[in-house]
Each structure stands twice: as C-alpha cells, then as structure tokens.
Amino acid sequence: MTIIVTGAAGFIGHALTRALMQRGEHVVGIDNLNAYYDPALKHARLADLGTINAGHFDFLELDFADHGALEAAIAPYKLTTIVHLGAQAGVRYSIDNPRAYVQSNLVGHLNLLELARHRDVRQFVYASSSSVYGNSDTVPFSVDQRVDHPISLYAATKKADELMSETYAHLYHLPMTGLRFFTVYGPWGRPDMALWKFTSAILQGKPIDVYNHGDMRRDFTYIDDIIAGVLAVIDRPPADDGAVKPGGSVSPHRLYNIGNNQPEPLGRMIDVIEAACGRPAIRNLLPMQPGDVYQTYADISAIQGDLGYAPTTGIDIGIPRFVDWYRSYTGS
C-alpha cells in the first residue's frame, strides 16, 4: 500500500517513515523543509532514509497549505493511508508568529482532509498534541475530558484540527484517528526542544534557562514508543459502527493519548542529562513563560485497551541515548 507521511523530514515523520520502510511499505513523504529550525537537520534525516534497503520512499518538497501544488503532486499515486504529522510546531513561537500556525495547521489540515475525502483512503491519521489540555488540574489527562481552554494558539489550532476531523468523519464516514503526543524525545529530535537545548548548553558549559524555577512536570515519551503506537493505529482503523469511540465520537473518529504515563519533574530530567553529559548544568531559574503548562500526564488506557500500546522506555534509558546521538551528530 502507499502511505503519505507529511512532515517526513521532521522528527516523528522521519522515525515513522523509517519504520514503515523497514517493514516494506511504499511511503510518499511531504515536507517543505522550512527554516523554523536549521534545515540541515531535516536534510540529514532524509539522507538517513536513503540508507534503508527496504520498502520505497518518494520525497515531495512542497507546502501542503498550497492545495493546488499538493493535489498535483499526489495525483499519480494510489493512496491507502494518510498520516498527517506536518505542522508548524512550537508553543512559544505561536505567540510571535501566529499567522504561520493558521496557514499550516488549519489551512494545511483542511487540504489533507479534502485529499483524503476525494481519494477514498482507508484511514486518515493526524497529529494532535497534549497541549490541548491546557492547564487542566484533572490528571492524568483523559481523551474523554473536555478541552475547551487552550492557553496557546498552537494548542487552539490542534483542537480545531480535531473538530474539523470529527466533521469529516461524520459527513463522509472517513476513518480518522487523532493522536495527542506527549513531549516526544530521542535521537534525531528537534533543536527547539528543552532536551536538545539543555544538552547543547551543558556540553558547552553555558547556563540553561529553567522556567517556573524547575517546578514543572512532563510526560516524556521516547520516540520508539511513539512509533510503536502510530504503527498500531495505522494497522487498525476505527470501525464505522456507530459505537462510541475514545474521545466520545460515534462517527469513525477516535482520539488517543500517546505518552509514557509517567510524568517526570523537570529537575530530575536535568539531573539525568547532567549524568549522561558527565558535567553539571548551570541553572538560570526563571518564572513561567506565557503559553507554558505546569504539567502533562497521559492517561493511555484507551490506546492500551484497544491496541495493546505499552511504552517501555523511561528517561534513564532514553536521555542517554539522545545524548550519545547528539554527540555523534554534532561532533561534540
């Protein structure tokens, strides 16, 4: 079958494409290789995909917010599944550049929905985010709780994507699965994420900015555990049977949290990085930043019960793996 993966040069998109190719799939990857962070890393991920001697990979460099370019580029392919991971990422950047989020995360999402509808795909899988839970004090976060109070534009666009997807599942009986990812980390990760920033600074002997004086908790989820969950979702589309799905829909649309189900204090995360780097951090303690949330904590019972999802990698294993990769990639 032919699977579209948007954001194929991104962190999760690269890892998913790699896994799909290794099991023999034909993947059509889409990415515009924008400069939100250094495109050299995106090119390196694409080069890594070129080393896989299995499956087949076609790469299309385009902006999926341009519906004409998207539809023309995809026209030759017979599609079975779309996995829409591409988006303008970053909570804090959404405060500085809101229009980029509307264009990529709203217009782009609609374009992919329309493509899925007209090409009669088997399933449309898309990336949502744990940020939709905002500052909820009901933990762990469940897909069945209301998420009506986003505290960043990024979170608002992800909630809007879920609502648009529900509409398409209802109107066109298009099987849909939305995935609320929780603080994904690991080799080939993103430079705008705390793990990369902290590792880089610690290795260079520079201070790190620690927000809310370190009093935050995150459900850090290792990339291999994320990909295991996404593959399970791809292989088991939701049924159009009128039954209530995770997230509350009676259409063929379900929502899953993909997390580690084990929030870690930010201070302990830094401790593990220090141990992996072999040197102490210089901690610059600061107040909470606008748009940040105090904690994330995934209730994974829905995906666990439906698909057998079971994360296996804690930060004591995952963070040293990232640090080893980072040193190899950067030569530091």
Annotated catalytic residue within 36, 126, 154, 297: 154
Pair 258, 182: CB distance under 8 Å: yes
Catalytic residue status for 326: no
Residue 4 near residue 30 (C-beta atoms within 8 A): yes
Euclidean distance between CA atoms 281 and 271, whole angstroms: 8
Q: How far is CA 50 from the centre of its chain?
A: 22
Catalytic residues: 154
